[in-house]
Every structure is written in C-alpha cells, then in structure tokens.
Structure 1
C-alpha cells in the first residue's frame, strides 16, 4: 500500500468494516498525508474531515508523561522519589505500599494497585483532589514495581502531581506546556471546547446487532482526564507531537518542548510486557515500545465508541495517527493501519492470534476460580478441557453498559487461552500466572488477583 491512494483506501475500508467515520494523518518523507471518510455522527450525518476532533483516550497518557518529564528537567520531580513527595494526598488501601509507590512506578504501570477506577467526582477544579481521596479503597494486587498491570488511576495521580507543581489544573498545564508550544490548533479539553470544532460522537453496537448506533455517553469523568478521559485532537495534532519526539524534543517551529535526555528516557525500556500473544514489547516512560521491529513506539486509546491508533517508526521517520468512531476497528487496523505500517514504515507487525483449528483439551484445574478487578470479576469454569469465562460487571461497569457474558476459551500456549468467537473484531486472549500448580493472577492487559 502507498500513501498516494490513502483517501480511496480509507473510504473502502470503513465501508467494508462498518466504521461510521475515521480520519488518518501520516508524516512520511517530509510530507503530511491526510484523509477522512464517513460521518462523525450517524444521527446528524455531519461528514468527517481531516481537521475533525476525536477523543484520543489513553493516547493522552504520553502527553501526561511529557508534562512530568518537563518537571524532571526543571529539577522539581525525582522519578524514583515516593509519589507522596509531590502529592501528599496520595493514599491507598495498603498504607505501606502507598508510601513506596514512586513516580516511575506510575509512568510504567507498575504501582501494583487497582487501576480501573473511573468514579465521577464532578466537573469542578477540585475533581482530581476528590479522586485522590477515593483511592483510599484501591486494593494492592502486587507489590510496587513487581509486575506490569495497566493502571489508569496511576496517570490520574500523575495529573494531580502536575497540577500541584504547576499551580494550575492539569488541563491548563497541558495547554500551556504542550498544546501551545507544539502549535496545536485542533484540540479540545472540555465539552464546551469540543463543540467549537467538528467533533466526533462515539458509536457502539446496536442492541439488536444490526450495526452501530450513537453512544448515549460522550465523555468520561473529568477526573480521568490525565489518563485519557477528555482530550480531543485531530490526527494531525498527534502527528505534530510525534514529530517533536522524532526531533529530540523540538517542535516544528524550533521551540524546544522536551530535552533530548527526556526523550531518550521516555523511549528507554523500563518494564517487559508479560509474555502475552498480540501484545509484547516493553513499556518506557509513558510510551509503549511495541516490539514491531525497527524500534516502533506509540500508544493507542479508546473511550466510549471512539478509538485512536498512534505510532512512530523512527528508522524511516514515519508518524502515523488514526481516529475512528465505532464499527469493526480491529478490522480497520488489519486492512489499513497494519498495511501502512508494513509497506510505508517497514515494520514487522505481528498478526493477531486466532484459535487453533482443533484445540486439544488441557488440565484446567489450575485456572478455575474467580478473579476480581475494580470494574468486573471473571469466573473461570471448566468446559471439558477448555475454559468458560464469565464476566460479572460491578455497579460502575453495569452503568457503562457491560453485561454478564460467558465466553468459551481454548488453549493457545502454556497458560494462555484464546476466545473461540470474536468480540469487537478480535479473539480475546487471557493468560494466567501459576504458582505451585495454581493460578494466582489472570492477565488480560490488567493483572486480576484470585478472589
């Protein structure tokens, strides 16, 4: 695939994959290539354009990490100091662990406490302080620094750190220290700013399975902004950020945004991602170092019905950003994103795992039981040498539309199982950490302890 037919390819792929609307931006060879297709909202029919604003979800985490690294450069933050040095109100259910968690632990998803805490603490400027108080009930799953478990809550704490040391709310710090120096013009931090642009709505599967419908909820709580709840960007703004990283911290107009040392630190492997099919690589400081060959790095993101794919291929100097608003996004990735990664950026993108044609049964005894997270629990039962995994939503997950559901998993590799049927365009994979013949944790991107 070449970028010469980017518009045509995008139009064909979103039609084939049932994606309401999408926009893509690619920096290659000193040129910005952009395309947009479909609609931003199936109810209104407003067309998607290259400068439309989409929620970028967890891609925001790298921006929050950059704000922290600026503070490190100024001598205001020590990555290996306890978080409480900078955020005195940081508490957890485990007091000893709370005193040990460092800034580096938060940046690398290794603080060890429950990470999926999305309690809405209001729209006021005190929302992050109120959120910090909620963490007093956050359970410790593993000791700080022991293992990687994706932790949204940790980045909200980093947002509080930035606010405390800058003397301004996280949103203002992001605008002053990143958006403005980078020259970003199509960015929103509040709903009242988003309506000034062509803003995308999220779309979710229709209850009857007939296609996509506009999601009833548009924005996550403001207190989750530093982790990915509020930032809206056009794809070209993500490319702008990526070009700054490629240039060693310098924006396109010559403004220094980060030091070269900070950029190197963010891209230095800190934690090995658990051996998990379809994931892999390492975590840097905020960045996912993808293990796609040739040193690619980036971060994806998702909110309710909106998704972002963003990566940088330094060897060829390619920066890629895609925003989409529903439908078969994994299929969109397979048909368009991965094709560009291979053909334009020269990356070796791993194929998504699929179930074996004739899965052999295994002894399931080590894996059976209940595994609990803050949003939902998973009940694992034997299914004749395979596994039936039932998702049991907690109150907040139910509020967000999650329902009780049982999925059949078959063996994929040692201690790893893959779903027989696709969900959201892909076969989900779960892995187990086994000690003394018994699973103590289930890993699906998060580490869930046995109940």
Structure 2
C-alpha cells in the first residue's frame, strides 16, 4: 500500500469521526488501520469530559468483549501444549463445575465454551468479587445461578459465561491467575506493551473512560463505573490497552499466529481453526461463529470481528485475512458502534473494493405472526412478544436476581435498564427488523439489530435471537 492510500484512509477516518462525534455527542474516538505493511492511528476529541483530557493515539481503553478472542487464543495455546483437549468435557478439568439443573454441565466440552454453543444461561450474572479467587467465585456461583438455554452444541447463543469458565479452566490447568496468564502468554509475546488488566495499572497512563448521554440535555456524562467486576475478566471485564496493541494482536492472527516482532504466539493450524466456521445458525442476523471470532461474510470476503461493550464505551477489532488488513477502534459512548460500522464498510467498499451485498432485498407480505407471540426468558431478562397493528411488539423487562446484580447491571447500562416497547416488521417468516429503519442499515455490523425466531414446533417458536443471544419460550 502506498503512503498516498494510507493518507487517504487517515483523512477519511478523521473526517468521519469528527462529523459523527459532533452530531451524536460522542466525546472521543480513536481508530487504527494496518494494511499491507503500513499502519495509521487517528485520535479525535476527549478521553474524559470530567478532566478534559484529550483522546490521544496512545490513550488506553477497555477492550470489552474483544478480550474473548484473547481468551480463546490462550485456550488454544494450552491445547497445543497438550494440557487441554477441545473435545473433553469441562468437568474433567473442573470437577465442581455445575449448573442449576443436575447433570446439565456434564456434556459441555471445552470447544463449546469458546464457540458460544455451551447453552449456559448466565449472561447477566455479575458476581461482585475481586482478586485471585474472582473466577472461582463466578464458577462456584453458576451452580445456583446458571441455567441452561439448550443442550450443548445444538444452538448458538453469545456466551459471557462460557468465556469466563474458559478463563477459570485456564487458571486451574496452568496454576496462574488469569490476568498473569494474559500478560505472560498474550501481552508479552504479541508486543502489547501498553496493555494491562486493572484500573490500578491503567491509572498510571493516559486512559479513556466511558460516557452516557443524559436523556434530557443529551450531554455526555462520564460513567460512574470504570470496569465490570474481576469475575468478568476473561469475557472482557478488565483488560485495557491501546489501538497499537490491538493492531499487533490482529496482525498476529493475520500472520498465522506470528507476532509483528517475529514471536510465535499460536500455531498456524490453531490460528486457522479459530477462523473456521464452528457453528452457523443460517440466519442473516447471526453471523457464523468460529472459535473466539465472529465471521462476517461480505460477498467472498470474510471479516473476523469482535466488538466489545464496556461501561459507556465500545471497541471493535476486525481482521480481514483475504486483504491483509486489520481495523480496530474505540469510542467513549455506546453509540460509537455506528461510526465503527460506517468506517468498516468504507474500508471494505472504497478502500479494498469489496462488494457489500444487500442483506435484505425485500419485505415478505402476509407473514403469520402468531408462532412468535409469547414470553421468552433468559438470565434475569423477560421479553413479552405480542401483535400490535400487524407488527410484532416486544417489551423487554430486566428482572434482577438480587440487589448486587441490580446495582452492577444498572451502572454498566448507565442507569437505563428499561426500554420503551419496540415494534418489528416481518422480513420473512422467523425474521424481523426494527420498524423505521431503512433495509440497507442492516448490511454491515448492524445486522445484529434484526431479530429471529427459531425451532417452531406445534405452531410456536421455542427461541428468540436478538443481538446473537437466545431467549427461550417460557
């Protein structure tokens, strides 16, 4: 790639970021692109409106769920060393691992943890524990808080619980606390020199905080919670680093597991395995999943992606093997995900010349809505689906298990735990779009806003999928 092309990318991102942040009250944004041996980082705005600290190219931020790809990489390192086996039941390594239903955990394989096919129903379970035993506390708590959505391997549902159990598994088989393992086996060999795993470390350098828009003034207010509890580390609660660090990690996966400095982090075979389809729901709103990576198809090009929410912030990491490209970004309000999607689509279509196919071409008339009506549940979440004016209407209710869960989730969500009812228009049987959106809005990352229903039996769907997460008919 020529410097001219890099210059074009840099100017485009700078322009897009400035315009979007201005019109959507996003205080700060930072992004990086590596392509064909060259890379750029662009920073815009403010890292923390309380202090006025600027967002710099080397400002740190919470990785959020991007961490899941790091956790998966750690698991495959241990598989290579013969310490773990992907097709062995988790209980062989963690004999006390249990869910609320007796025996429900026994058939969950190591592979199911990192491919989101484990069926653990604990996605809003936030035990508040710190330090060395945090992941043990989480694992022990599943026996009384972890339900089951489906039999292991039979469905796909985005799983924080699976990744946290994978982190606990790593602690048990290596004898190292998860943060120490991450530093030793990912940060060091990849060359992620500005990454850490705690607020105590992050405070020693420039670090962004999340913000939420005040509903009355629409002004961005800093989050009251910097990180999720330590119990969520392997799913993305605590790791923090920079754009340059995530570019180095993405480049390691581009290069078949070899870091930019030439250190072997993962074998070529394991790196390829992470990029292969592990499960495909065959529904437009749920991209196929590999191990750790979500595999977004854009025509003949696959984008390996993971986005990560943190309290008031959102990160993204995309690796495009066919085009030797890595894109990563962080914005310090949740709405920045839209800007990240815009930049990704620009990079694909304008810079790489990738055709972005239209995901939904037309609406189907006369779809029978009755199979989808009812109440669906998952961990601390209830979704009531009814028919109003020929559309589906969904009411989402958060039902906290206890005061501690309520406090943590409310802070994570910026105080907004209830939403107004949402109407959906049918695209075809079992697939719905939020009313009022143009269909082209769903061609990129925002396909996750579509809702699908699955496994219709006796005229009733058993599952609802929204944002990659399943809820089960109550």
TM range (shorter): over 0.9
Structure 1 range deviating more: 201-210 or 22-31: 201-210
Counterpart pick for 1:236 among 240, 244, 248: 244
Counterpart of 2:368 in structure 1 is: 363
Q: Distance in 2 between matches of 1:89 and 1:346?
A: 51
The answer to whether 1:448 aligns with 2:452 is no
Secondary structure of residue in 1 paired with 2:79: helix
User: Structure 2 matches for 1:237-316, cutoff 5 A?
Assistant: 237-277=245-285, 279-280=286-287, 282-292=288-298, 293-316=300-323
After TM superposition, give the deviation of residue 17 of structure 1 in Å.
3.4
Q: Distance in 1 between matches of 2:15 and 2:302?
A: 29
Counterpart pick for 1:64 among 61, 71, 96: 71
1:337-370 Cα shifts (integer Å, max 9, x gaps): 32123223444445686996xx856432211111
Structure 1 range deviating more: 239-248 or 7-16: 7-16
Counterpart of 2:25 in structure 1 is: 18
Q: Distance in 2 between matches of 1:323 and 1:100?
A: 37
The answer to whether 1:412 aligns with 2:433 is no
After TM superposition, give the deviation of residue 21 of structure 1 in Å.
0.6
Secondary structure of residue in 1 paired with 2:319: strand
441 and 399 in structure 1: CA distance in 2 versus 1, 3 angstrom threshold: same
147 and 313 in structure 1: CA distance in 2 versus 1, 3 angstrom threshold: same
After TM superposition, give the deviation of residue 190 of structure 1 in Å.
0.5
1:271-306 Cα shifts (integer Å, max 9, x gaps): 1144033x42x2111111211232321211111211
Structure 1 range deviating more: 204-213 or 237-246: 204-213
User: Does structure 2 retain, via aligned residues, the 8 Å contact 1:92–1:135?
Assistant: yes
Gaps of 5+ in 1: none
After TM superposition, give the deviation of residue 14 of structure 1 in Å.
2.3
The answer to whether 1:399 aligns with 2:444 is no
Counterpart of 2:453 in structure 1 is: 432
User: Does structure 2 retain, via aligned residues, the 8 Å contact 1:311–1:321?
Assistant: yes
Secondary structure of residue in 1 paired with 2:84: coil
1:389-417 Cα shifts (integer Å, max 9, x gaps): 11111123563430253112221222122
Counterpart of 2:391 in structure 1 is: 386
Counterpart of 1:120 in structure 2 is: 127
Secondary structure of residue in 1 paired with 2:53: coil
Counterpart of 1:223 in structure 2 is: 231
Q: Distance in 1 between matches of 2:282 and 2:55?
A: 38
Q: Distance in 1 between matches of 2:435 and 2:382?
A: 20
Secondary structure of residue in 1 paired with 2:166: helix
User: Structure 2 matches for 1:154-169, cutoff 5 A?
Assistant: 154-169=162-177
User: Does structure 1 retain, via aligned residues, the 8 Å contact 2:25–2:219?
Assistant: yes
User: Does structure 2 retain, via aligned residues, the 8 Å contact 1:296–1:347?
Assistant: no
- Give TM-score, length-normalised by structure 2: 0.89
Q: Distance in 2 between matches of 1:182 and 1:413?
A: 45
1:244-280 Cα shifts (integer Å, max 9, x gaps): 1111111112111111111111112111144033x42
Q: Distance in 1 between matches of 2:436 and 2:206?
A: 36
User: Does structure 1 retain, via aligned residues, the 8 Å contact 2:313–2:334?
Assistant: no
Structure 1 range deviating more: 124-133 or 209-218: 209-218
User: Does structure 2 retain, via aligned residues, the 8 Å contact 1:361–1:385?
Assistant: no
- Give TM-score, length-normalised by structure 1: 0.93
After TM superposition, give the deviation of residue 188 of structure 1 in Å.
2.2
205 and 76 in structure 1: CA distance in 2 versus 1, 3 angstrom threshold: same
User: Does structure 2 retain, via aligned residues, the 8 Å contact 1:363–1:385?
Assistant: no
After TM superposition, give the deviation of residue 435 of structure 1 in Å.
1.7
After TM superposition, give the deviation of residue 198 of structure 1 in Å.
1.3
User: Does structure 1 retain, via aligned residues, the 8 Å contact 2:73–2:266?
Assistant: yes
232 and 347 in structure 1: CA distance in 2 versus 1, 3 angstrom threshold: farther
Secondary structure of residue in 2 paired with 1:70: helix
Q: Distance in 2 between matches of 1:8 and 1:449?
A: 43
134 and 209 in structure 1: CA distance in 2 versus 1, 3 angstrom threshold: farther
1:307-344 Cα shifts (integer Å, max 9, x gaps): 11211111221111011111632431343232123223
For the aligned residue pairs, the C-alpha RMSD in angstroms reads: 2.3
User: Does structure 1 retain, via aligned residues, the 8 Å contact 2:130–2:230?
Assistant: yes
